[in-house]
A and B are shown apart, each in its own frame.
Chain A
Amino acid sequence: MKGDRNMQRTQRRVGATLGVLALAITGNAVHAGEAGGFFDDMNINFAGFVRAESAISTTGQENPNNQGGNIFNSQTVARTAYLPPALGGGQWGAIPLGVGGNQQLGGLLPPIAFTDEVRRGDFIDADDNAFNYTILRAETEMQLTLTDHWSVIGRLRAIYDPTIYQQFNPGSVGGVQGAIDGGEKRLYKGRPNMFEYIVEGGDKPNPLEWSGKDYLVYFPALLAEYTSGGLNLRVGNQQLAWGQSIFFRVFDVANGLDLRRHLIMDRALEEFSDKRVPQLSVRLSYQLSDTILLDSFVAKFQPTVFGNPNTPYNVIPAQFTVHDLYKEGGYDSKLNYGLRLKGDYGQVSFQLMATRRYNPDGVFRWTESGVQKPLSGLLGTAVNLAYSVKPQLGNPDNAGACSPTLCRLYDDISEALSHTPFEASPAGVYSAREWFNYAAQVRLDGVAGLNAAIEEFAASRDVFATPADNYDQAYAELDTFFIAAGGSMRGHIARQYFREDVFGVGASYVNESENDLLNQMIFNLEVQYTPERTFTNKGLSRNFVKQDEYTVSLVVDKWHRFFNEFPGTYILFQALTKNRSDLVGRHLGGFGGSENKEAPGKSGNSNYLVLGFLQPWPNKIYEIEFAALVDLEGGMLAQPGLRWNAGKSVTVEGFYNFVDGRLWGNPNDNLLSTIDFAEEFTLRVSYQF
């Protein structure tokens, strides 16, 4: 019996850990009181679990953001190169360098090199995975109570992924276009890196975290705590969550999210329990009165962690190379701080929140690739030649003085390309169709994206790129450069962070009614307002979008007994609306695009509904769970699940993620098409100790 063992066990541990100090608590004290001397209350306690988690794909669909799941791997796409306007082509698309255009050029060029068909899968191996996710997790929480006022609390999490997946091997394209060159080699040169979060400069910025390609060990919490009266002070690595909304992060703004493992595909009712990125923080809460609680924090800013390229739940297309400027931009020394007041007055309560923070999600823009590599292939060689014959009369600092047609800014085209956001490497974008398709998928505008990469980079214009006026011109220009690159081009983007002030106000009301259905129904309204929030420009321009954003959520939850034979059902309904971005912060201006058109943007708000319930079995040995997130633009994530509390320290959980981002309308108008690939069944088996 645990009760028998408990005291002995605790004492043994203290004894082993703290030696003679253990004597303070091993006495045969029978006076059950709280008062005591220093270290009288010393105690150390451990608990934890190990858990095997795996998710099996039920559709066989691969993540389209990864090389092996790219939807163009199996498509053959025709490409045609055109004479650049900078070389007298008029406008992009006017003079094809293929059969027709060649005649316009007097038959100087053989047509075969300037029009082709490309199948991405000829270069990149397609993946075929049964499992999306397989990890072994161990967690333990330790609490060392030193005195009545002081304690140390820690939670250690260790994760191992045996990486049984079929994944992209950059070595497989090592002989093509000179291989992938740019970016952090631990992320872009080798096999997919499951866990290392590496920013530009090579640092791993998360404190108290140790990671490798297939393992992750870190302290989600390790803190010292001081408590006295109504005051509680916590100093150390920790997470902080506010608000009544579940999953909708209206008040929950203190921490970024760690999306490296299972993205947002875990049990909905667990919310972000293991996903908030811990920050080195000082948290002070004070019970101002019986009804009002003040909570505040100062934290070293830590960003949201996205999945690495080609890992199962990566959300950034692998044709991009990301340069995270967290350290180089000096964000690693920035502080976030915030304060919340929460008042409860029986049936009514309120919340007020103000937080000054760096938005942990960050924003993206084009950045110079830094990769010195010429174009290749016949057209590429011609462009290289055309560039080299230009006199080097200009310089990058005064690029406007030099016409790209007449003079060049750099020694050679390799150097010039290194100052564009592109590298002529394999496993990038192979066709204009792919460009537009993926731009729409990630809620960017293909035309604006191209133009920003040209207008904001003199080197792009220096290699004969010119802004496009419309989709067709952009299409022609893109295909031209992809052919000139000798296959594909990879795009380089930088991630940076901006400060914002987030204000929140909330109220809740507990309804009491004679009507059993309405009785004890809790209504909670939360509003977040952020003036001048910075969003990624839909063209990846460095001119970020700055707009005021509001977020409003309504949460209604209650218990209701439907069946005599079963315990009551916990029911949760939520609604959320945002006026500038979607649930995960992507600006609505980039919505609505497709392979065939640039993004018109979405008018109106993004709107979401959540319905969830939890139905325990008698004795709660089984629990049926259900949660559905509906994007009113035509997407749904539905998650039915069963939890079996098997006893004997074993818990088994199974849940199915049904995802459909194509229920109605343009899939690129709703959130869920982004994770449409992740339809899967997840099984978790835990053993507690």
Chain B
Amino acid sequence: MRIRKYDVDYGRRALMQNLAIGAGAGVLTPLSKVFAAQGEIRKSYPDELLSIDAYTKGKVKTGDTINASNVELVKELLDPCIYMQVKSEGRKFRIKKTQTDWSTMFPAEFYEATLRSTKSPGKFDADGNVVTQDGKSWVGGLPFPDPKTGDEVQANLCLSWGRADYNQYAVNDVVLNPDGSVGYDYEFVWSELQTQARMDGKIFQNKADLLRYQTVLFTSTQDVAGSSFLSIWYYDQRKFPGLYGYLPQFKRVRQFPTNQRFEPLIPGVTWFLTDPWAAGDPMRTWGEYKIVERKPMLGAYNVTADIDQPNWMAKVHGGPKGTTFFDTDFEFVPEVIVLESKPTAYPRAPVGRRLAYIDARNSIYNGNTRYDRQDKPWVNFETAFGQYKKGDKVVYGPDGKNPAWSWTYCMSYDMQTKRMSRVRHLEQCGAGYKSVFSADNEEMYNKWCTQQAIQRLGSV
């Protein structure tokens, strides 16, 4: 048992002070130092920031379920959308123990690369792109293990979305109407191949001007099945990706304008391309990145993937028909960075700003709320990440030895229309496409990342 040296509000006050002086994460000791030494997270934070029990002085305990009846006890720890969902929409969650093992918070390779990065973090060049200390393209891992500015936080999110060289996600997206009925039920495959900021430190196929390839292929419903889009992302984050699409009605690949970042790709969904990863657009097409808060929060951080369930599908609850929200555990996180940003390169964007809620321990977000031009909360793109290990079941990551780490669900909730896109990372979706964490990159490039590939993947 540790001796409490400070009063229960010390941690929170310290975080506010850190924010004011532009310091990095950590209260007792800079978090980055502890991370670099692979030390115990406990060395950075006092007890009241590591335990909901201590923080609430025992009013809420680890293992408790939060629902409408007791959510007021933790209101200040929730983002406003989740609070509203619990208070009014029947959402509930169970509080699990705060994770203190760094290695479970990243894919193993990314963790190692980030450890290397602590010795030589990235920097921004004159164009605002992340480079190594000697001015070369970033080589993998978090470029800013101890982000102190909004730009650094965002760079951690945007350089490698899935935190692996290749990721392929089989996805189910159920769109629930305001009355809770199922409006749409889509499935698609999302494939992303990093050309730079890779774990192997190499530049894939010497494509030094690119950052990644990303393809989305819809496999159902039938009206969108066979539609596929290939985005070719430039390393230069001031440039829009190149976008090529195969639409079944055209039977061929066409080039499309790519600045439609605020439009639903398919009917009914509440999310836009701008939302995923809290970094769906090139970083420098947004701006005015600003850390507005550092504070403890409750959220679906470090969740456990439901790999013991058929097709990794979680149970659901809440909402008008009891199906609106995934069952999940929340974690009391000692330090969440609340990052504000604005779509500065999109003068006609319907979005005024967004707030992302980012775990300071691993620079991954859980909440990502966009506000409309009248600054009313619009859509919260809640995303849970965690290890693919549950009990004795393990889904292995790229090295085939360590558990995979990835997103498990998104819940994109439109607070204005009460429409929900409930998105699940599946083991397998329509047409037999599987989620993949380990693959031959050259093979996946040919399979997913060329114009020929999306032509072939498209419906006939």
The finding on whether chains A and B are genuine partners in a shared complex, rather than unrelated, reads yes
| Chain A proximity of B275: nearest CB distance (Å) | 14
Q: Is A534 an interface residue (CB 8 A)?
A: no
Query: Knowing A521-B257, A559-B259 touch, does A31 contact B395 (C-beta < 8 A)?
Result: yes
Given contacts A619-B270, A620-B266, contact A232 B432 (CB under 8 A): no
| B260 in contact (CB, < 8 A) | yes
Q: Cβ of B242 < 8 Å from any Cβ of A?
A: yes
A342 contacts across to B, CB distance below 8 A: 451
Q: Across the two chains, which residue of chain A brings its CB closest to B244?
A: A344
Are B460 and A153 in contact, with the CB atoms below 8 A?
A: yes
Determine the chain B residues whose CB is within 8 A of the CB of A232 once the complex forms: 452, 455-456
Shortest CB distance B223–A (Å): 6
Contact B394 A565 (CB under 8 A): no
**What is the bound-complex CA distance between A290 and B183, given in angstroms?**
39
- Among residues 38 to 61 in chain A, which have CB atoms less than 8 Å away from a CB atom of chain B? 41, 43-45, 47-49
Residues of A within 8 A of B414 (CB): 619
CB-CB < 8 A to B426: which residues of A? Answer: 3, 6-7
Contact assessment for A620 and B252 in the assembled complex, using a CB-CB cutoff below 8 Å: no
The distance in angstroms between the C-alpha atoms of A465 and B114, with both chains bound, is: 94
The number of chain A residues with a CB under 8 A from chain B is 95
Is A557 at the interface (CB under 8 A from chain B)? yes
Whether the pair B431, A293 counts as a contact (CB closer than 8 A) is no
Residues of chain B contacted by A47 (CB below 8 angstroms):
220-222, 225, 430
Check if A230 sits within 8 Å of B452, measured CB to CB. Answer: yes
**Are B373 and A273 in touch, CB under 8 angstroms?**
no
Most chain A Cβ neighbours within 10 Å, of B175, B226, B460: B460
| B264: nearest chain-A partner, CB-CB | A620
Beta-carbon contacts of B149-186 to A below 8 Å, as 1s and 0s? 00000000000000000000000101101000111110
- Which of B239, B259, B393 touches A30 (beta carbons < 8 Å)? B393
In the complex the two chains form, is B255's CB within 8 Å of A244's CB? yes
Binds A, one of B59-67, B78-86, B287-295, B342-350: B342-350
> Could you tell me if A648 and B183 are in contact, using CB atoms closer than 8 angstroms?
yes
B249 within 8 Å of A by Cβ? Answer: yes
Could you give, for residues 349-369 of chain A, a 1 whenever the CB lies within 8 Å of some chain B CB and a 0 otherwise? 100000000000000000000
| Min CB–CB distance A267 → chain B (angstroms) | 8
| B262 and A561 within 8 A (CB) | yes
Q: How far is the CB of B12 from chain A (nearest CB, A)?
A: 37
B437 at the interface (CB under 8 A from A): yes
Given contacts A45-B432, A522-B257, contact A246 B348 (CB under 8 A): no
CB contacts under 8 Å to A, within B344-362, are 347-350
Distance to closest chain A CB from B448 (angstroms) = 11
Closest B residue to A45 by CB, please name it: B431
A10-B428, A221-B460 are known contacts. Are A243 and B264 too (CB-CB below 8 A)? no
Chain B residues within an 8 Å CB radius of A10: 428, 430, 432
Whether A522 touches B427, Cβ cut-off 8 Å, given contacts A3-B187, A271-B249, A287-B450, is no
> What chain A residues lie within 8 Å of B437 (beta carbons)?
32-33
Instruction: Give chain B residues whose Cβ lies under 8 Å from the Cβ of A349.
Output: 255
CB-based contact A2/B174 at 8 Å: yes
Q: Which of B182, B438, B446 touches A229 (beta carbons < 8 Å)?
A: B446
Query: In the complex the two chains form, is A3's CB within 8 Å of B270's CB?
Result: no
**Residues of chain B with a CB closer than 8 A to A220's CB:** 460
State whether B349 touches A561 (Cβ < 8 A). Answer: yes
Contact bitstring B361-378, A, C-beta under 8 A = 1, else 0 = 000000000001100000
B187: A residues at CB distance < 8 A: 2-3, 6
Is the CB–CB distance between A32 and B404 below 8 Å?
Answer: yes
Asked if residues B460 and A141 are in contact (CB atoms below 8 Å), the reply is: yes
A155 at interface by CB-CB < 8 Å = yes
From B250, B268, B431, contact of A43 by CB (8 A): B431
Tell me the nearest residue of chain B to A225, going by C-beta. Answer: B456
Contact digits for B179-212, partner A, Cβ 8 Å, 1 yes 0 no: 0011111010000000000000000010100000
Question: Contacts A2-B172, A3-B424, A33-B436; is A616 near B226 (CB within 8 Å)?
Answer: no
Q: Check if A619 sits within 8 Å of B460, measured CB to CB.
A: no
- A131-172, CB < 8 A from B: 141, 143, 145, 153-155
Residues of B within 8 A of A221 (CB): 460
- A1 beta carbon closer than 8 Å to chain B: yes
Find B251's partner among A239, A524, A648 (CB 8 Å cutoff): A239
Interface presence of B307 (CB below 8 A): yes
> For B450, what are the chain A residues with a Cβ–Cβ distance below 8 Å?
230, 287, 290, 293
- A562 vs chain B, min Cβ distance (A): 8
Complex alpha-carbon distance, A34 and B255, angstroms: 29
B263 at the interface (CB under 8 A from A): yes
Q: Are B257 and A557 in contact (CB under 8 A)?
A: yes
Q: Among residues 296 to 330 in chain B, which have CB atoms less than 8 Å away from a CB atom of chain A?
A: 307, 310-313, 316
Asked if B248 is an interface residue, CB under 8 A from chain A, the answer is yes
Q: Which residues of B contact A689 (CB under 8 A)?
A: 222
Is A651's CB within 8 Å of the partner chain B?
A: yes
Report the nearest B residue to A228, measured CB to CB. B446
A559 touches B251 (CB 8 A): no
A276, closest chain B residue (CB): B251
A246, A562, A565, A647: residue with the most chain B Cβ atoms closer than 10 Å = A647
- Complex: chain B residue closest to A44, CB-CB: B432
From A49, A244, A510, B222 is in contact (CB under 8 Å) with A49
> What is the bound-complex CA distance between A649 and B221, given in angstroms?
8
Give CA–CA (A561, B429) in the complex, Å: 33
Complex: how many Å from CA A141 to CA B307? 30
* Residues of chain A with a CB closer than 8 A to B182's CB: 647-648
A414 at the interface (CB under 8 A from B): no
Q: Roughly how many angstroms separate A344 CA and B443 CA in the complex, as a whole number?
A: 21
Closest B residue, CB atoms, query A288: B452
**B419 part of interface (Cβ distance < 8 Å):** yes
Q: A7 and B428 in contact (CB under 8 A), knowing A271-B249, A619-B269, A621-B268? A: yes
B13 interface contact, C-beta 8 A: no
Report A-chain residues with C-beta under 8 Å of the C-beta of B350: 561, 564-565, 567
A240 to B455, alpha carbons, bound, how many Å? 10
Chain A residues within an 8 Å CB radius of B260: 559, 567-568, 570
A269 close to B (CB within 8 Å): yes
Interface contact B395-A32, CB-CB below 8 Å: yes
Which of B221, B257, B259, B446 has most chain A Cβ within 10 Å?
B257
Q: How far is the CA of A25 from the CA of B431 in the complex (A)?
A: 13
| Interface status of A579 (Cβ within 8 A of chain B) | no
Q: Given the complex, which residues of A lie within 8 Å of B242, measured CB to CB?
A: 344, 346, 510
The distance from the CB of B441 to the nearest CB of chain A, in whole angstroms, is 11
Q: How far is the CA of A342 from the CA of B253 in the complex (A)?
A: 11
- Answer whether residue A285 sits at the interface, using C-beta atoms and an 8 A cutoff: yes
Instruction: Evaluate contact between B257 and A559: CB separation under 8 angstroms.
Output: yes
Residue in chain A with minimal CB distance to B186: A2
Q: List chain A positions with a Cβ less than 8 A from chain B.
A: 1-4, 6-8, 10, 25, 30-35, 41, 43-45, 47-49, 141, 143, 145, 153-155, 220-221, 223, 225, 227, 229-230, 232, 238-244, 246, 252, 269-273, 276, 285-287, 290, 293, 295, 342, 344, 346, 349, 508, 510, 512, 516, 519-522, 524, 557-562, 564-565, 567-568, 570, 616, 618-621, 623, 645, 647-649, 651, 686, 688-689
A sample of 24 inter-chain contacts (CB < 8 A) reads A3-B174, A6-B172, A6-B429, A30-B395, A32-B404, A43-B431, A44-B432, A47-B221, A246-B250, A271-B249, A285-B455, A286-B452, A287-B446, A519-B259, A520-B240, A559-B257, A568-B263, A619-B264, A619-B267, A620-B266, A647-B175, A647-B182, A647-B267, A688-B222
Which are the 4 A-B pairs with shortest beta-carbon distances? A43-B432, A3-B172, A645-B267, A647-B183
Given contacts A47-B430, A648-B183, 18 further A-B contacts (CB under 8 A): A2-B187, A6-B430, A10-B432, A31-B400, A45-B430, A145-B432, A239-B251, A244-B254, A252-B252, A346-B242, A512-B239, A557-B256, A560-B348, A564-B373, A567-B262, A618-B264, A618-B417, A645-B184
Question: Interface of B with A (CB < 8 Å)?
Answer: 172, 174-175, 177, 181-185, 187, 205, 207, 219-223, 225-226, 234, 239-240, 242, 244, 248-252, 254-260, 262-264, 266-270, 307, 310-313, 316, 347-350, 372-373, 393-396, 400, 404, 414, 417, 419, 424, 426-432, 434-440, 442-444, 446-447, 450-453, 455-456, 459-460
